[in-house]
Chain A
Amino acid sequence: GAGVSQSPSNKVTEKGKDVELRCDPISGHTALYWYRQSLGQGLEFLIYFQGNSAPDKSGLPSDRFSAERTGGSVSTLTIQRTQQEDSAVYLCASSPRRRTSSTDTQYFGPGTRLTVL
């Protein structure tokens, strides 16, 4: 079946502009994660959605970052007033998170490469 998809694949923006990154998880997966991969910080967790529960935003680096997940499916990560340090690859992952299963594998999308000039 279809994997996790992300758009755009590349985004170049000017400092101070807002950007929106989209993630379409695997159908039926209830858990959705955003991670960021940068040269200096490696792979780091940003935010987690599970079903209709309130998201876990504990990994967001600043209040310029926000995310939403509509209808328990597609998610949008928004970065306001972008800074050069926001340049990174933003990865989305989804997992089944079945109630009866305690093991979840996260499957990743191809990522969005964000460049802030």
Chain B
Amino acid sequence: AQKVTQAQTEISVVEKEDVTLDCVYETRDTTYYLFWYKQPPSGELVFLIRRNSFDEQNEISGRYSWNFQKSTSSFNFTITASQVVDSAVYFCALSGDTGRRALTFGSGTRLQVQP
């Protein structure tokens, strides 16, 4: 069975602070994929990043960066110099490489960026 844990239910920061959202996963698959999605107040899930289990390189995209560590089964997401527009619920998700490949989601972390 697959499981994704996002232990941080809610985080509040002041604009321009850096913030890291934690994600820990469990799977027995040898090949799997990890995702982060953003859900702004409008409600739509917006895709941010996909990472496969063979690629442990960290990735940076503008103010966003992701740290994948297979040894600790973690896929953490950092926002540098946060902005009010970053306020949203962020979901980490996991899928296998066979069958339906449905996403198993964590419970989400609500990020509030105060001006």
A interface residues (Cβ-Cβ under 8 A, vs B): 31, 33, 35, 42-45, 48, 50, 56, 58-59, 89, 91, 93, 102-111, 113
| 24 A-B residue pairs with CB within 8 Å | A33-B103, A35-B103, A42-B108, A43-B91, A43-B103, A43-B105, A44-B105, A45-B103, A48-B100, A56-B100, A59-B102, A89-B43, A102-B31, A103-B52, A105-B47, A106-B103, A107-B47, A108-B37, A108-B44, A108-B45, A108-B47, A109-B44, A111-B43, A113-B43
CB-based nearest A residue for B101: A104
Residue of B33, B45, B46, B91 contacting most chain A CB atoms (<10 Å): B45
In the bound complex, residues from chain B placing their C-beta under 8 Å from that of A35 are: 103
Is A48 a contact of B102 with CB atoms below 8 Å? yes
A42-B105 contact in complex given A48-B100, A56-B100, A102-B97, C-beta closer than 8 Å:
yes
Q: How far is the CB of B105 from chain A (nearest CB, A)?
A: 4
The total number of A-B Cβ pairs within 8 Å is: 57
In the bound complex, what is the Cα–Cα distance between A59 and B93 (angstroms)? Answer: 16
Is A110 a contact of B43 with CB atoms below 8 Å? yes
CB-based nearest B residue for A89: B43
Q: How far is the CB of A41 from chain B (nearest CB, A)?
A: 10
Does B83 sit at the interface, judged by CB under 8 A? no
In the bound complex, residues from chain B placing their C-beta under 8 Å from that of A104 are: 33, 95, 101
In the bound complex, residues from chain A placing their C-beta under 8 Å from that of B91 are: 43
In the bound complex, residues from chain B placing their C-beta under 8 Å from that of A102 are: 31, 97
